[in-house]
Amino acid sequence: MEFVSVSATSGAPPGGTSDGAPLQDHVINLPFSNGETPRYVSNFISIHRLRPGNADEDGTGNPDDIFDDEEVYVTKDMLEEVLETRVGGKSKQVEELELLGDGHHQNSTEAIGLGRDIWSQLNSTGGPTTQPLYTFDEQKVQQSVASARSSRAKETKFGARTGAQTRAEREAALQHRPQATQEDVKEWLQALKTRRGAENRLCVNAEQFHAVAKVAAQVIEELPNRAGAYSAPSGPLRWVVHGGPGTGKSHVVKDIVKEELFEQILYWQQGLDFQVIALQAVMADLLQGDTIHHACGIPVRKKGADGEVVIQTQKAVAEQTLYWRWLLIDEFGMVGSSLLAEVDMKLRDVVVDVNPYKRSGSGHAHPFGGLNVLLSGDLWQLAPPSGGFVGNIPAEYIANARKYTPAATISHGQSLLWGGPENKDWAFHGVTELVESERCRKDQWLQEVQLEFREGKLSRDSHAFLHGYVTEVCGSWTNGRAACGNSLCQKLSEIKAPWKDMLTAERGCHICSQSRQDRKRVAMDASDKRFADPHDTRFVDAPAIFPNNDIKYDVNKQRARQYAATHKLGITWAQAKDQPLPQTLQEKPDLILHKVSWLSRHDRECGDLYGMVPLIEGLPVALTDHLDRSPDKQLLRGKIGRIHSWKVANTEDSVWEEDVRILHELPAVVYVKFENCKWHLEGTPEPGIYPIECVSRTWYLDKGRKYPQLAIKRRQMPLAVGFF
């Protein structure tokens, strides 16, 4: 995959970098096509853009109370102005300056400039555009909106569903399936050890097998053998699978444990016999799992947690967890320590007392209500924004082994993980460390660089190679030797020969000169030939990482226009409708004169709603809110789809002006297509298409104040441009 990092921090001068200098500049191109790398990027982005969970409170009351203030209509001449992004740091609020530093405004402005340079040159083409002329059957539109509403209603019922009906269904599912035996699991495990897959490689390497065998041994302990007899129980297992990028954690947890062992061998069902949970909706979605808060009925209180629409009742959670034997927690490094503690306490609470796994023989309550727990993740990533990092060893364990007090605190969560061998009754029992990298085996050098990044100690030469600066070793230098095999290259590198000698030698060594060229992954400016090549479209759709929201917002708007130009499509703009609340107008009646300028504010200031949403067929868009939590759809915040089509309001009177149309009213509905979906809403042409209507949010012009007063109600489509 390609991804792009836009930052204005200027790069180190050629030949003048220091050891461990951060690679934060410009554009990086790493050759990963799939697997965990996108997830790492996504985790990184998530940490950076976690949003408050309760953004959807709407204090507007009766809409009739709103003053009849003037509507403003953006015209084509005004478009450039409203698409400018108001850069943070400009306002001289003291707190803001302290937080962001004086340079923030300048850095953002420079970075926005760089973003514009890059995305205005990519495949920019003029010429005629096509403009969509959709015709809709009004009845079908109504039908689709109605089926979407009933789908959303199902979600609430699903969350609140308790009692005999559900239990009857669950028990029926349990009764009507074959009972797996100890021997079934043993035979499967034995075969797995030597099974070979693609390219005749082992399906699991030795470390991965170790982790799987650990889980299998526990499963066997809880199963009958073919004669119907059980083994003596030794208590639940709590285990950690830990490893860096490319070591195959997902392969172990998702492909082997979940899909093969649990679902195929044991005939288990997710949600009934086990649950896979993650902190954020988008991460849970990758594993078809649930969010921690939802699955365990833990209300979202903290800033930075993922917002939840449905908080399950204690009874519903107890009902759901009734037959669970395993809890798989993915990306546990992102789960705050206090949240892990809350999960523990919650499960101790909801698992019924008659459950034979809940207590030890001596009556001691097991953590997590006696469930087996498998954590997977990498603690060598960014720590979560709140709730304490589970990767930190609690201070009391370094000094002495003090007993924990059972409250949902940070140290409780850390103690669960780090309690150590003498606390086996409640701590995790151990860890399988996955070390062998399953990816980049063809590029040893890149593997080395990845390891340096993970350990936070990028070497001077690696940094120089990535940027195309002067190095002390030859161009093919890998793992302490010249990969070209050329003895001159080897010798010059060993003696750290002067740069000019190295260059001379490399002119005669094709491998070194080619390899040096390949290692320069960072584009220093918009003129890099990787952007300029009209046939290279990789960067048109590449995800991007931004150091702050101003730049992200601005670049996304640029990229939407770029996208339209590349595909020769016109752009329809949906303009947000802002209405100050009555008390706001009473306080500052002249506010409405500034309405147009509110459209330039970035979405985070305005209830996560864009000032101007570009509607372009095929444009990637992200949901800015949980849209539909029904089990088959899981259309949650951050989910990316593509715009399929839209229907303007029946009274819409705007017209196309060349390649631009600025709607006077919000569209009646925008259809977004989600890939790989089986569900098919009535009234829509194909599976995966969902009708999205506008929402309203309240935001504050003076949100920096302790008690914000100037409330504005904004209506807009809950969509963000989805290039991230």
Where on the chain is the footprint of Zn ion (CB under 5 A)? 474, 484, 486, 489, 509, 512
CA distances from 558 to 46, 84, 196, 614 (A): 22, 10, 47, 10
With residue 296 as reference, give the H or E element that holds it. Answer: helix 292-296
Six token digits for residue 713: 């109600």
Q: CB of residue 15 vs Zn ion: minimum separation in angstroms? A: 20
Q: CB of residue 19 vs Zn ion: minimum separation in angstroms? A: 24
Q: Measured at the alpha carbon of residue 695, what is the angle toward residues 694 and 697, in degrees to the nearest 5?
A: 145
Sheet with 238-243: strands ordered across: 290-291, 274-278, 326-330, 372-377, 238-243, 430-434
Q: CB of residue 506 vs Zn ion: minimum separation in angstroms? A: 6
Type of residue found at 385: P
Residue whose CB is less far from Zn ion, 52 or 508: 508
Taking alpha carbons only, the member of 297, 345, 295, 298 closest to residue 324 is: 295
Residue whose CB is less far from Zn ion, 446 or 482: 482
Q: For the chain, give the longest Cα–Cα distance.
A: 84
Radius of gyration of the chain from its Cα atoms, rounded to whole angstroms: 28
Residue 650 buriedness (CB in 10 A; 0-12 / 13-18 / 19+): exposed
Taking alpha carbons only, the member of 194, 171, 143, 80 closest to residue 660 is: 80
Residue whose CB is less far from Zn ion, 326 or 477: 477
Q: CB of residue 482 vs Zn ion: minimum separation in angstroms? A: 5
Rounded Cα distance, 335 and 330, in Å: 9
Six token digits for residue 405: 């007090």
At which residue do the structure tokens 């190295």 appear?
502
Q: Which residues partner with 372 through β-bridges?
A: 326
- Per the document, the length of the chain is 724
Q: CB of residue 510 vs Zn ion: minimum separation in angstroms? A: 8
Six token digits for residue 211: 């982790």
With residue 660 as reference, give the H or E element that holds it. Answer: strand 660-662
Residue whose CB is less far from Zn ion, 82 or 509: 509
Q: CB of residue 474 vs Zn ion: minimum separation in angstroms? A: 5
Q: CB of residue 508 vs Zn ion: minimum separation in angstroms? A: 8
Q: CB of residue 511 vs Zn ion: minimum separation in angstroms? A: 5
Q: CB of residue 513 vs Zn ion: minimum separation in angstroms? A: 8
Residue whose CB is less far from Zn ion, 486 or 579: 486
Residues 6 or more apart in contact with residue 127 via CB below 8 angstroms: 568
Residue whose CB is less far from Zn ion, 295 or 474: 474
Q: CB of residue 473 vs Zn ion: minimum separation in angstroms? A: 10
Q: CB of residue 211 vs Zn ion: minimum separation in angstroms? A: 40
Q: CB of residue 493 vs Zn ion: minimum separation in angstroms? A: 9
Q: Measured at the alpha carbon of residue 311, what is the angle toward residues 307 and 312, in degrees to the nearest 5?
A: 150
Residue whose CB is less far from Zn ion, 148 or 474: 474
The helix, strand and coil proportions of the chain, stated in percent and rounded to the nearest 5, come to 40, 15, 45
Read off the DSSP letter of residue 648.
-
Q: CB of residue 16 vs Zn ion: minimum separation in angstroms? A: 24
Answer whether 296's CB lies under 8 Å from 244's CB: no
620 SS3 class: strand
Read off the DSSP letter of residue 604.
G
Residue whose CB is less far from Zn ion, 415 or 490: 490
Answer whether 453's CB lies under 8 Å from 245's CB: no
Buried b (16+ CB within 10 A) or exposed e, 213-248: ebbbebbbbbbeeeeeeeeeeebbbbbbbbbbbbbb
Rounded Cα distance, 332 and 413, in Å: 11
Answer whether 509's CB lies under 8 Å from 97's CB: no
Residue whose CB is less far from Zn ion, 454 or 481: 481
Residue whose CB is less far from Zn ion, 161 or 481: 481
Residue whose CB is less far from Zn ion, 489 or 636: 489
Residue whose CB is less far from Zn ion, 60 or 514: 514
Rounded Cα distance, 284 and 279, in Å: 7
Task: Report the phi/psi class of residue 659: left, alpha or beta, with left for phi > 0 and alpha for psi in -120 to 50.
Answer: alpha
Residue whose CB is less far from Zn ion, 415 or 486: 486
Residue whose CB is less far from Zn ion, 476 or 630: 476
Q: CB of residue 501 vs Zn ion: minimum separation in angstroms? A: 13
Rounded Cα distance, 660 and 612, in Å: 13
Residue 700 phi/psi, 5° resolution?
-125, 130
Residue whose CB is less far from Zn ion, 515 or 654: 515
Residue 447 phi/psi, 5° resolution?
-60, -45
Q: CB of residue 416 vs Zn ion: minimum separation in angstroms? A: 52
Residue whose CB is less far from Zn ion, 504 or 586: 504
Q: CB of residue 484 vs Zn ion: minimum separation in angstroms? A: 3
State the pairing for strand pair 544-545/481-482: unpaired
